[in-house]
Each structure stands twice: as C-alpha cells, then as structure tokens.
Structure 1
C-alpha cells in the first residue's frame, strides 16, 4: 500500500505490479501527480504545479515511457540551451549542440561558439576550475556537497562573472534557489550528465497535462495487473502493532487501510509529522529533519495576442523568474497560433509565497517587459492579459543545500514492512522527475528482494551497481538512441 500518488508512488506501484504484487495507491488530492499535478479551469485550460521538462539524461523516465507505449507524447526540441540577455532587452544567447558530434565534444563546441556570455579567458578559467571533477569523477563530485556553488567558485578561482552569467540561472532551474545556497554537488551532477551523454541536455515537453498524459497511463497499467488507485484518501496517522511495525494507514475519514507492506511516497515535509513517535529516535528517521522543501510559484498568463517566442524552454536570467516557455507553441495540447500562454517559474519564491496573486502577476509583468520590450508593458498597454493562474507550492522538492545529502534515506527503512520512495530518498538524480521515478524503481527492487525474490527491470542503483533483470521485461535502451 502506497501513500502518495505522484511519480514516485506510481513508479513503485508500476514496477511492483510487474513483479507480481497487487499495489494500492492512496492519493490525498482528487488528482494524481503530486509535484506534477495539474488542473483544468472553467474554460478547460490546464494549469500546472510546475514547468516540467524532460531531459535526455533521464534514462529511467525514458524507459518508463517506452514500457507504457507512450514515447510519442514526448515533444523533443532542438538541442539547444537559450538564455535571455541580461543587458539587451528582447535579445537571447544560444548554446547549440551539433548533432554530428558526440559528448563531450558537442558541449565543448556549444560553449566555445557562444561569445555573448563569457569571454575566452573566462571560459578557460571556468574549465580549469572544473578540471578536478573531470579527472577525478564521482568521488570528487560527492566531496563537494559540503560547500555552496559560490564557495566552490572562490576555492577554484572561477571568475565572478561565471556566477552572474551561468550559475544563477542554472541554480534556479535545478533547485529554485541561488548559488549562494545551492550545494555544488548538485551542479556537478547535472554538468556531469550533460557533458558525458550526447543527448543529456536535450529537452522535451510533455504533449499535454501530466496527470492525463503520464500519470493516467501509469495508473491504468498498474490497475490492469490487479492494482488499485484511490484519490481523496488522505493519510492521517500511521498505526503500529505491538512490535512497532505498521499495522495500517489511518485515513482522514477514520477508516483503516491495511496491507502486507507499506510505502510512503509522500514528499518529505508532509511525511515528517506523520512519523510515529516510537520511530523518531531512530537515526534513519531523525535525519529527515535536515531535509526541507523549497517554495516555488508557477505562473500562467494567457495573452490576447501571439508573442515573439521560440519553440523551446528559455532561461530568463532575471531576479524573480527562473525559466519560462510559451506553451501555446511548445505543447501540442495547448497549441494556439493566435494567442500566447506563458508558463513561468517564479523563483526564488521565499519572499513571495505569502504575497497576493495580484502582486506576483504585477512583478512578473515587469520582468516580461524586459523579455518582450516591443510586445509587453508592465502597465498592460501592449499585449493584454486575458486571464492568469498562480499556483503556489510552499514546500516543493527538497532544498539541496550543503551536507543535506547525508540526511537522505535509502528506500529500505529499519521497519521491516515500511519503505520510502521519493526524490528526497537516496538516488543519483537528486530532486527531479527522474529522481522520483528512479526512487520508485529502487523501492520496488528492495521490496521484491525482501519479500519474493523477483526483480524490476535493470537500472543503476544508488551507488551505480546494476539490479537484476526480470526476463519478461525489456532491458533499458541507451540514452544515445533518443530521437527527435
């Protein structure tokens, strides 16, 4: 039985159904998805918890799409990274990765060709700073969890302009915080994947609402194998038996849901207050106090005209916004040739999460005036807002600050019939959709190993080792096979 119907919970259930179990997923809200949840307004338009991007460096997610038979729902974009100019309104700077070069040469080529953001001497100093990570690999990366990006830059002699031109945008995109808070380990893990895998930084949009286009197929797959999904089933308390094991999940309606095994796939923040008092002294659980979700705000603005945008994710490089996209261009279901719908990630959001929607929209419009100087004005005198939606998540993915990696738990808890899944658990992809899906695989693997000896499809474990393969299921395809 699984508390949490996001990607981690659905992934765990899917792979355990493959291993012969009959999972029951309990989701507190009326919609599946967790941190990728979305809803429809009175006009039928979709608004989401976040601007969700799928990378080529997400092998577990790609395998999942293939296993569900929905690969065509990923809309792959041109292999580029596009940044708004900090100094010239309406201008953008591109890093274009040539398809005829393998990694890491395609990334090196893209960086060397771009002269808008860093000078050649700055690129050399940046490269020299990264040299230990390139030479020493993962052992070096893991040791950098004790320092912020800013501290690492000073230690390595990397010019401050690299922070202004690259790391601020990267930190906000990775974890919704600034480089003076973000663990350098997080950045190095991302750079490692992007530079080592030819298609690692290639991006795709889902072709519609995540609950409908991704979560629903996961749920239907699992139900076809005997599983069950219950929405509106909020966990209120974890009941224990006399031996300290889980006796059942007490739900908010007073009912007791029972099963043989229990998995929490909830985010770490709502999980912590639900932990039984008898467990709290256990280091496995007490360490969770060091993990805290970061606030984030997702803004949707429907305009009365089409703006001059591109079919891609854009890094805004503004103080208030992280990334944005014109979903009327990027996403099949939201397509509109006459009018734009911008979806924007407002981050860091700590100072804004308690502000009114009107304040947030006003601040966003001021930023958009810089990005679209000929088309958008903060006073609304140019493109007009038809409607907007602001979705606030006070505690989203865990805040990847220095030394938090030590607090991340494995999927197998010290309680024999209780497991954890979620991107905050120990796995190599940190706080991401890939991390959530992979954590579900690892939780399913642990349960199968502990209880019936059957195994989920081969993938890398948290330390890079491989899990055994159920012969009935296909082995993963290499990321290099990515098309689009």
Structure 2
C-alpha cells in the first residue's frame, strides 16, 4: 500500500495497453506508477516529429470499425472526434495499373457484403462462388468455427475448400500482411476466419478510419495527460531488468540502474519479447505459462513514408496491394489533413504515402535506400500513368525488429490470460487472450481485462 493509503500498481510499458490500464486504475482509486524504457510513449502506436518537423509513425494505423473498446476510451478522454471515417469500401491496387474495389450496401449482415461478391469486376463468378461456399461453415457456426481451424495455415484452409491460388494471393495476401505482417502460408487460419466472421456479422466492422493527425497528439499524449492530471506518475527512459519473485508473489521490479520499485500489484504491458527478458528463471520454473510464452516470436515490421512532388493517388482511404512490397498503405495527404506539410511548409496537391512494407523479414537486411527504391517501383507498377515523372522529395524508413507476436498455427491456445498464476501479477498486450489479437483494439481490450483482474484482486468495484 502506498503512502497515500491507496492500493498501488506498477505498470511496465507505456504503449496503448499500459496507458489504458493506467487510466482504468487511476479512475478506480489506485496509486499508479508507469515506466517506459523508450523516450516516447505509444509503443506500436507511437509517433514523433523528426528533425525537420515532420511527423513519423511506427506504422500505418488504420482504425477498424470493430474496435468499439478503443472508441469508448477515446470518447472518455475527448478525442473520438479526431477519427475521420472513410467510405465503406476496400480498394486493391495491382501491377500494371489494375485495381478493384469491394463495396458494401446499407443492409443487414451478411447482405451488406453482397456487392463485394457480385460486383467486384476482378474475380470471376467461379472464384467468388468457390470462396463464398467455403465460408458456409463460418456463417453457420459463427465464432465457434475459427478455433477449430487453428491447426492450419490460412493457405492450407483455403486449398482444402478448393480456393485457387490466384484468389488467395490477390485477395488475402495483403490482408494477412496488413493484419499480422506474415503471409497466408504462415498465418493461422483462425485469425483470418475470426476477422472475416466479424466482418460478416457486424456491418460497420470493416469500415476504416484514420486520425486527422499524429497518434501522439490525438490518442497517446491525451492519455498521458489524463492520468497525470489525476495523479499517476508516468516516466520515460526507465528500463526494467527483472521481476523479483519470492516463490509466491512479485516483491518488486529491479531496474537496469539498480533501483528497485515495489507496489501491491504489478501489470506487465510489455511486448512479448520484452516480457520474456524480465521474467526470472525461478518464476519460469514455478509456473509453466512463463516457459510457454518463451516460444512466442516477434514479427519484424518496416514502415516507409514517401513525399512525392505530384499527386499519384486521390483515394481517401486505406489501400491494399498484393503485388510488389506494399501490401497495405495510404496516401496520408488524402486521409490525414494535419499531415499535409513537408518540412514545416504547406504540402497540398501532392502525395505523401505511408506504407507497410512486407514481408519485412525478407527485406530487413537491405539498406534504407534499397527499400525505398523497391517501394517506389511498386508504386510505379500500381500507378504507371499517374507516377510518370514523379520525384521523391523525402523518404523515411522505420524498422522494428520485433513487433506483434507471430500468430502461427497451434499458437492460440498458448496465449495467456491477463490474470497470471502469480496472485499480484497481471498481463496486458495483444499476445494475451482477447478477440482483437495484436492491434489497437486488442491493446485496449487486454488492458480492460487486466485492470478488471487487479480490481477483483484488490476488492475494488470495476
């Protein structure tokens, strides 16, 4: 118990999950301290200004309509209006300037997706019929069906139903890489089927939105301000070295500077690879769940931003591409009004793209210059006419060696709950058990569950 007489909580990690938990717990009367090893908050949702004043993001942050828990949080801190909802359609750009768009109707589910099936003007009726038929078990069994397919990759699942490789690669390769940065041949079928089931069941779930500006300004810093205004202690540049476990409970957290922090309850909101670094051997030996999660591996991610001297795309929405190295991207000059700047000056009538580049593990060894070159080639291939004569005014490359956990077949059952077997230790993050996996929605959902668990343990109403 803290000097204030309140139950105390120490949160490791200042990403979206850690900050959400800080809000939930400070709202319920806990004495909260949060530490973050980097010099910025936000984790996978971090953004920062470079030396020229331009905002750089850790990745392309699309706001799925399904993330209700995220929007509840944003309403609570007064930033929901910063989400700009886009037209409810998904556009794919392909090599040689080809493209197609999946549109929706305002109709009850699953009929809202009818235009995507009958009027996409790219896939044949036979291809769409085969895939639609493959979804019948999903429609009938709904959320009970995806867990039964976790032993398969999505590619294996699709081939079992006769789905042709062309459909798999053109339709689902960019989706798999957008969701978890690994291709259909690696990702578990469960994730793709879970997402598809939600899209089928909830008409607004597949609608996309973008923030009007930087995540730091419209989500992360408002969260930091909220919790600090209510008395939470939030600190950057502080790195945990190890949890201290006495065989029954966590007694403290040793920092790399030798200091020890203690609290009544401990919440790890670290990414899985960093959590594994701070778990001591005696904790692994006592509780097998901490040995199990050592097998979780982070997926490398590369994000590229390019400012061009002309407008290449006029689409104000997320874009997918199965060809080249840009599976998901957006022209931020269209989607994000506050990003229409370059080096502090207005930047209008030109394209400022942000790309998820992948699969990143095949590209991490390349120089920044080579990665930008390949991205530019992909853009020129998708927009052969619009890109003629286009010159790059500026580019940035962000590399994250380990980002989300790799959701391979047979891994879902290994995901731990938020309440650990140690009575005062709780976990939050996309790798823990919740329906939105490693995403902004998953970060908030897991933080809500972890906070509820701490409240229950402390006898506090959640």
Distance between the aligned counterparts of 1:32 and 1:183, measured in 2? Answer: 31
How far did 1:22 drift?
2.2
Distance between the aligned counterparts of 2:127 and 2:273, measured in 1? Answer: 40
Which residue is 2:3 aligned to? none
Deviations 1:273-316 (A, max 9, x none): 22111011222111102311111100011122222331111002
User: In structure 1, which of residues 421, 427, 438 is the aligned counterpart of residue 434 of structure 2?
Assistant: 427
Which residue is 1:415 aligned to? 422
Which residue is 1:203 aligned to? 208
Residues 348-363 of structure 1 aligned to structure 2 (within 5 Å): 348-363=359-374
How far did 1:204 drift?
0.4
State yes or no: 1:21 paired with 2:20: no
State yes or no: 1:70 paired with 2:79: yes
Deviations 1:159-194 (A, max 9, x none): 333202211121111111111101110001111111
SS for the counterpart of 1:350 is helix
Which residue is 1:476 aligned to? none
Which residue is 2:58 aligned to? 49
Distance between the aligned counterparts of 1:224 and 1:102, measured in 2? Answer: 43
Distance between the aligned counterparts of 1:167 and 1:395, measured in 2? Answer: 23
Q: Is the 8 A contact 2:15 2:41 kept in 1?
A: yes
Which residue is 1:481 aligned to? none
How far did 1:103 drift?
2.0
Which residue is 2:224 aligned to? 219
Which residue is 2:154 aligned to? 149
Q: Is the 8 A contact 1:244 1:278 kept in 2?
A: no
The list of structure 1 runs, each at least 4 consecutive aligned residues, that deviate by more than 6 angstroms after superposition, is none
Which residue is 1:159 aligned to? 164
Q: Which range is displaced more, 76-85 or 248-257?
A: 248-257
Deviations 1:428-466 (A, max 9, x none): 1112110111000000011111112311xxxxxxxxxxx
Q: Is the 8 A contact 1:9 1:421 kept in 2?
A: yes
How far did 1:244 drift?
4.4
Distance between the aligned counterparts of 1:292 and 1:307, measured in 2? Answer: 37
Q: Is the 8 A contact 2:94 2:323 kept in 1?
A: no
How far did 1:54 drift?
0.5
SS for the counterpart of 2:235 is strand
Q: Is the 8 A contact 1:56 1:203 kept in 2?
A: yes
Q: Is the 8 A contact 2:247 2:283 kept in 1?
A: no
Which residue is 1:280 aligned to? 284
State yes or no: 1:374 paired with 2:382: no
Distance between the aligned counterparts of 1:124 and 1:431, measured in 2? Answer: 31
User: In structure 1, which of residues 230, 245, 249 is the aligned counterpart of residue 249 of structure 2?
Assistant: 245
User: In structure 1, which of residues 453, 457, 468 is the aligned counterpart of residue 460 of structure 2?
Assistant: 453
User: In structure 1, which of residues 397, 404, 408 is the aligned counterpart of residue 411 of structure 2?
Assistant: 404
Distance between the aligned counterparts of 1:339 and 1:83, measured in 2? Answer: 21
Which residue is 1:190 aligned to? 195
Question: What do you get for the CA RMSD once the two structures are aligned?
Answer: 1.4
Which residue is 2:132 aligned to? 127
Q: Is the 8 A contact 1:176 1:322 kept in 2?
A: no
Distance between the aligned counterparts of 1:367 and 1:222, measured in 2? Answer: 43
Which residue is 1:261 aligned to? 265
Structure 2 gap ranges (5+): 1-9, 341-346
TM-score normalised by structure 1 residue count: 0.89
